Structure 1
Amino acid sequence: MDTNGEVFTKIVLEVFKVSGLLNTEGDQLTEEFGLSSARWKVMGAIVKADQPVTVSEISRVMGQSRQATQRVVDVMSKDGLVQLLDNPNHKKAKLVALTEAGAVVYEKLDRKQEQWAASGAQNIDREELDRALSALHKMARYLERK
């Protein structure tokens, strides 16, 4: 019988696999809008915050480096999907907000994603989904403390 640590490792490996598959799926979902899953994640972090956020805040939500997030934000700014605003709390760290065009694209993607998620959840009962979400939250909290 596997120890808890061995099962934890198996979950981590499965999460790596799922992460790669989700990036591929995300790229396919966003392709018609000329986006990538990385850009979609940035948009999602801004929308979920419900207010303009810094690149550092976006990178924490995405679990990526600030530098990688900054590169994506810079391209999105040039493409007119996000705008950089002065931050009253910091001279250098600009706030990032969706433009009107970015909000329109995100809304379309959100509707498309809802259908995709409903289809993906069809063969998983609610109890399993809730347990998986709970376990992943606990794993994330552990890793954030490191």
Structure 2
Amino acid sequence: MSRAQQDALSRTALAVFRLNGQFLSVSERLAEPAGLTAAWWQVLGAVLPEPLPVAGIARVMGITRQSVQRIADLLVREGLAAYEPNPAHRRAKLLTPTPEGRAAIDRIDPGHAELAARLMSELGGQDAFEETVRVLRRLSAALDAIELEARESDG
């Protein structure tokens, strides 16, 4: 690997770490009026389209199952989500939002929509925004492929 490649990797990682921090900060601000944290919003958001087991949520989010389990249990305790039986796996219950959880997410929507519009404007329009998403997904897929290859060679 050349020094230029290493520098590019370092700059990319630092930019993504900064971006992660920025997204967490803005997410906390958006979620707070709804009585949520960014992490609660993230887990609830993962199960809005369909109920998922904790391990499935962790895969989608790219974090540990234990982290998701802790948040899921808190959401259930607060009445924002519920566990339901999983026909595919007796012990791995499915997490689903309750009406209260959906209502909390709905309260975030106006701020979320405003931020999306402002970001689109800052990036130069819808096409530029979509290109940003494509590049980030491509980077994520490349890292997934490298990790899979490393796991296969280790085991």
Question: Structures share a fold, TM > 0.5?
Answer: yes
Q: What's the CA shift for 1:4?
A: 4.9
**Paired residue secondary structure (2:91):** strand
Aligned residue number for residue 103 of structure 1:
102
Cα distance between partner residues in 1 of 2:37 and 2:103: 16
Q: What's the CA shift for 1:21?
A: 1.4
Aligned residue number for residue 130 of structure 2:
130
Q: What's the CA shift for 1:73?
A: 0.4
Instruction: Give the letter aligned to residue 23 of structure 2.
Output: L
1:64 counterpart = 2:66: no
Mark the structure with the bigger radius of gyration: 2
Report if aligned partners of 2:52, 2:95 keep a CA contact under 8 Å in 1: yes
Question: Which stretches of structure 1, 4 residues or longer, exceed 4 Å deviation after superposition?
Answer: none
1:17-96 superposed matches below 5 A: 17-47=18-48, 50-96=49-95
Q: What's the CA shift for 1:110?
A: 2.4
Cα distance between partner residues in 2 of 1:4 and 1:129: 26
Structure 2 length-normalised TM: 0.84
More strand by share: 1
CA deviation digits over 1:55-85, x for unaligned, max 9? 1111111111000010000000000000000
Percent sequence identity is: 28
Give ranges in structure 2 of 5+ residues lacking alignment: 148-155
Q: Which deviates the most, 90-99 or 118-127?
A: 118-127
Q: CA RMSD in A?
A: 1.6
Q: What's the CA shift for 1:5?
A: 4.9
Give ranges in structure 1 of 5+ residues lacking alignment: none
